[in-house]
Amino acid sequence: MKYILKIHRDVEKQLARIPAKQRERLVKTMRSFCDEPRPTGCVKLDDVLYRVREGQYRIIYAIFDKDVIVFICKVAKRTEATYHDLKTLLDRALRETEK
C-alpha cells in the first residue's frame, strides 16, 4: 500500500534554507516514506509522531495508517529545541489530515 505524502508549508520554507545537496537527500528520504513509512532507524516520538535521522538533520513526521497519509511536520538540524514542540507538531498534523 502506498501512502500519500503531505508536507506542511513551514517545511517547504525550512527546506529552502538547507544547502541543495543535503536538501536532495532529505527530499529523497521523505519520498521513500510513501513506500515504507517506518524505515529502519526511525524512532517513535509519540502516538503517531516519528523521527528519522538524515545526516545532521531530523525529519519529524506523523503517520496516519487509517487515512494512509504521512505528514511531514518539521525538518531541522538536531538541537536542544528540536523536540520541544512535539505537542504543537502533533496538533498541526491532526488539523491538516482533517481537511
Mean pLDDT for the stretch of residues 33-57: 94
24 assigned to some structural domain: yes
Say if CB 52 and CB 68 are below 8 A apart: no
99 assigned to some structural domain: no
Domain count for the chain, please give it. 1
Mean pLDDT for the stretch of residues 54-62: 94
| Cα separations in angstroms, 77 against 34, 39, 65 | 23, 20, 27
The share of the chain scoring above pLDDT 70, in percent, equals: 99
The whole domain housing 60 covers: 4-93
Say if CB 51 and CB 89 are below 8 A apart: no
Q: What contacts 60, CB < 8 A, 6 or more positions away? A: 45, 49, 50, 51, 72, 73, 74, 75, 76, 82, 83, 86, 89
68 assigned to some structural domain: yes
Specify the residue for cell string 496516519: 64
16 assigned to some structural domain: yes
39 assigned to some structural domain: yes
Residue-level pLDDT at 99: 63
| Confidence band, pLDDT 50/70/90 cuts, at residue 29 | very high
Instruction: Name the pTM for this structure.
Output: 0.90
98 assigned to some structural domain: no
Domain of 62: which CATH number? 3.30.2310.20
